[in-house]
Amino acid sequence: MAAADPPVPLRPSAILPRRGLMFILSSPSGAGKTTIARKLLAEEAALTISVSATTRPMRPGEVEGVDYFFTDRPRFEAMVAEGAFLEWAEVFGDLYGTPHARIVEELESGRDVLFDVDWQGARQLSTRAGSDVVSVYLLPPSIAALEARLRARGTDSDAVIARRMARARDEISHWEAYSYVVVNDDIDRCFAQVRAILHGERLRRERQTGLAALARELTR
């Protein structure tokens, strides 16, 4: 028996303009968020990663505007006062934030923006951007599986893993704040489910900005 054809990806109509969306991925460390994000960026041409501004010094090999927008603390704090960030936070003494104007440009051009943020960043983005936001939380199949993944990396001491596990339990407690929750018990299945969410959200009526004009034309 011949193999069935693969399913056709869901995409908005090519003839209709579309507003992009802000696609948030969150998970505790070790639950697969980075892997899923990389696969999405590789497969989805209309998806781009959000580039944050930071006061952290540039590291060797990093590129301005690709890895981060590098700035100093006084300028960053002035931008906070001006409302220039959709969300921002201080992490280990350095400031990080998502520039508002750049995201607006991407959405209005019909491009989707991927955000790799924690639950606090997701909450700020949802508060500021409302209906433009789609948030997905990735859960491990069990707490034991999560710890096993962290230990398999072979990069952290027992003390560091213990801290990561304590933080993971706290982060997982905020799962109900997300639009979608996906259990990552198989990376390929998890990716397919996350990608299906992205495709379905692109088809929402309110994001297909050319529908009203098309409907008027069709009903003349």
One digit per residue, pLDDT tens: the chain, 220 residues? 444 555 555 566 667 889 999 999 999 988 989 999 999 999 999 999 999 999 999 999 999 998 899 999 999 999 999 999 998 988 878 999 999 999 999 999 999 999 988 898 899 999 989 899 999 999 999 999 988 988 988 788 888 889 889 989 999 999 999 999 999 999 999 999 999 999 999 999 999 998 989 999 999 8
The letter for the amino acid at 152 is A
Domain boundaries, the chain: 22-204
The letter for the amino acid at 136 is V
Angle formed at CA 76 by CA 70 and CA 79, multiple of 5 degrees: 125
CA dist 202 and 197 (Å) reads 9
CA dist 116 and 28 (Å) reads 11
| Structure token digits, residue 111 | 């491009």
CA dist 64 and 192 (Å) reads 32
Q: For 22-204, which CATH class?
A: alpha beta
